A = this chain, B = another copy of it.
Amino acid sequence: MDPQTQVPRRRGRPPRRRDDQTDTRELLLRAGLEVLTEKGFSATGIEEILERVRVPKGSFYHYFKSKETFGLELIGRYGDFFARKLDHHFHNHALSPLGRLHAFVDDAKSGMTRFDYRRGCLIGNLGQEMGALPESFRMRLKDTFEDWQRRLAACLTEAQQAGELSDDVDTQQFAAFFWIGWEGAVLRAKLERTAAPLDTFADFFFAGFRSK
């Protein structure tokens, strides 16, 4: 959702000469994440990414077979990064399960604020663009959402065990509802450049804890 910890701002100029190919590849992927979380896939040219990393035009295909391969790798990388972020919050036993969800929401909000609401969620961006993307992206994006959903559902089950959420709630469905709405909220927060849509959605989601 908020790639800020994965794609730190580079300080100063990157080295012009690189003997380490892995390093260049890594820089291309990081630049790809930065640009794609802002602008999506269709609006992003390879040239723009190469320019950021300052590697010569034409180098790209030394590292990646195609823009499609590059995109698939970015989906995997963003998905993994975000899964680690979720685990960081959802496995934090210093807080109650409900407290962990609040901490995640606060973290995501401050992440979006830090980047002036320019950066959204890579998976949401690509999901919205799916009509113009290689078909190979579809299953990978779907799987990523399902992975996040499973992680959230596990935390919701812990909330039930802690008495914070009614046992009647279908945790898988409640988790599915969260990601559906959350992606909508991130979209609106980017559009309106304010955290208000994130708060509006989160307030309704958390109201489900009290009323159920």
**Contact residues of A with B, CB < 8 Å?**
38-40, 42-44, 118, 120, 124-125, 127-132, 138, 141-142, 145, 173, 176-177, 179-185, 187-188, 190-192, 197, 200-201, 203-204, 208, 211-212
Contact = CB atoms under 8 A, between A and B. Distances in A.
A115 to B, nearest CB: 11
A106 to B, nearest CB: 18
A124 B187 contact: yes
B40 A191 contact: no
B40 A132 contact: yes
B200 A177 contact: yes
A204 B176 CA distance: 11
Contacts of A131: 38-40, 43, 118, 120, 190
A191 B42 contact: no
Main secondary structure, interface of A, reads helix
Contact of A183 (B120, B145, B187, B204): B187
Contacts of A192: 142
B132 A39 contact: yes
10 contacts: A40-B129, A42-B42, A42-B43, A128-B128, A130-B191, A142-B192, A177-B200, A177-B204, A180-B201, A183-B187
Contacts of A43: 42-43, 129, 131-132
B188 A185 contact: no
Contacts of A181: 177, 180-181, 184-185, 201, 204
Nearest to A125: B128
A33 to B, nearest CB: 13
